[in-house]
Structure 1
């Protein structure tokens, strides 16, 4: 892997993003699927196949990538059970559980403003 220049625009932008608390938080849950995966996990454990059923339009590869990213960011815990066939469950970490009230508020805001927009159309 090639090291990036310390003063490159990318490196400076990355530092700004990680220094700003709001941007840091948004970056952790940003992306097309992360926030809905976190929302579906809520207060329960789900297996990969159960998550896949919740999102029929996401590819298995994309779901795997998003779960790995969430695990790397310590928002999702992955537990592998030594069974045949192997069983893998995903659940929210305590850090991610703190997001649940925020998700409810964000969802309510989205619903309200989506309705307002539809009524203006």
Structure 2
């Protein structure tokens, strides 16, 4: 089974990321930047999600990682000003969410929300 990418309509960005944050808060997240000038870089690997948000007033998408406990006491914030397109993979049970955010200069940020580990009883 393959995952399909779909453009997320701008009018839905704020509410979509608010819900995704509630569903995945604390889940491991990886942030990769594909920059035309500086090349491909991993900014964060499997850090706990604090939030995903789109600020309509400032036209800025942000992902916050960490800041929840002594192991990750500070929130790492990655911001993308003036995103022009956000694509997401379809939500297939058992697979991570992936977001592909493109800014006005054609640079991409890939945000992968990994599945939460199951809690053993």
TM range (shorter): under 0.3
TM-score by length of 2: 0.25
TM-score by length of 1: 0.25
Greater per-residue helix proportion: 1
Structure whose CA Rg is larger: 1
Greater per-residue strand proportion: 2
- More contact order relative to length (CA 8 Å, sep ≥ 6): 2
